[in-house]
Amino acid sequence: MAHRAQPDVAGGRSRREVLRLLSAGLVLTAAPGRTLGGERRAVRFGLTPVLLNTDLDLLGLLKSYLETATGHSIELVTRRTYQEITSLLVSGQLEAAWICGYPFVKFRDSLELVAVPEWNGRPLYQSYVIVGADRKAAGFADLEGDIHAFSDPDSNSGYLVTRTLMFELGLDPETFFRKTLFTYGHRNVVRAVAAGLAQSGSVDGYVWEVMRERDPELVNRTRVLRKSELLGFPPVATSRAMASSPAIAALKHALVAMGETKQGRDVLQAFRLTGFVDAPATIFDGIAAKMAKLQGVL
């Protein structure tokens, strides 16, 4: 029995017709934020493990606020690694994403800032090196021979800062630690050190502090051995191709104005943030300097 060509869900065309048009170069792509039929689609907003994004209540608050403030349906997109979210963002498969400063600098030619969160009144944070609470280590050199937990190879606080410190101290990353592992989540770094699965770890200071407030029994089984200098807080970014779209303008306004409504203040309180600002990209110069030091090494 002959099979009829099935209609294409995007535009009502058969698959055969779409293939024919593609080969002729005649299929038009939809504008950002629009389907081929012209109706508005959800704004896809990516979240990396830099955030406390395993908390469904937090995600629900964020989604509800952004939908109210932007007038758009919001689709929150999560992935296991920073690389996955960054790839989706750079390729235009996300309208925006809350990423880390390291991939923002790495893909600076392809990305634009939307807004930067403020924590304790500043768009800055620190990387922490943590150890077990009862550990006698006094300095980084005392971690030789450890199993060390990193968060993600594209994390500033969970990898780049510590890796740069080792370079500055002349330590060989292949031999200084007995073993290293990536947990793919700052929470998981804290859990690994607290449980003794790793003797030390590199973690986002914001995440560690918020976790200490929410889960002190867990976090108090660790302590901070070292804090880095202040660096640019993980930003919300978009691709350059979408930076001038109405959806991004609405998202930017919603983030920067978050403190002006009760609903927005509830979101900020839940995330333990003091606001979002339209910060200059120069706040990530410290991260860029670390990348430059390790150029050709990583």
Q: Contact, 19 vs 7, CB < 8 A?
A: no
Q: If residue 239 lies in a helix (H) or strand (E), which one and from where to where?
A: strand 236-239
pLDDT of 244 higher than 60: yes
Q: Determine contact, residues 223/285, Cβ cutoff 8 Å.
A: no
Q: Rounded to a whole number, what is the distance in angstroms from the first to the last CA of the chain? A: 58
**Where residue 57 falls among pLDDT bands split at 50, 70, 90?**
confident
Q: Is 13 or 113 the better-scoring residue by pLDDT?
A: 113
In the numeric block, which tokens belong to residue 30?
């939809």
List b or e across 70-87, with b for residues whose CB sees 16 or more CB atoms inside 10 angstroms: bebebebbebebbeebbb
- Where residue 50 falls among pLDDT bands split at 50, 70, 90? low
Asked if pLDDT for residue 26 goes beyond 90, the answer is no
Residue 92 burial by Cβ neighbours in a 10 Å radius (0-12, 13-18, 19+)? middle
The model's pLDDT over 135-144, given as tens digits with 9 standing for 90+, comes to 999 999 999 9
* Helix or strand run (H / E) with residue 291: helix 285-293
Query: What's residue 85's pLDDT?
Result: 95
**Amino acid 80: pLDDT:** 87
Contact 261, 61 (CB under 8 A): no
> Tokens at residue 233, please?
């807080």
Nearest partner of 104 among 283, 295, 294, judged by Cα: 283
Residue of 2 and 85 predicted with greater confidence: 85
> In whole angstroms, how large is the CA radius of gyration of the chain?
22
SS3 assignment, position 132: strand
At 221, the amino acid letter reads: R
CA distance 21 to 28: 9
Tokens (6 digits) for 166: 């080792």
Q: How much is the pLDDT for 10?
A: 34
**CB within 8 A of 132, min separation 6: which ones?**
193, 194, 196, 199, 221, 222, 223
Backbone angles phi, psi at 261, to 5 degrees: -125, 155
Supply the pTM of this predicted model.
Answer: 0.84
Question: No. of H helices and E strands in the chain?
Answer: 11, 13
Domains and CATH numbers, the chain: 43-123+233-293 (3.40.190.10), 127-228 (3.40.190.10)
pLDDT per residue as tens digits for the range 89-105: 999 999 999 999 999 99
Tell me what the mean pLDDT of segment 237-264 comes to: 97
| pLDDT higher than threshold 60 for residue 35 | no
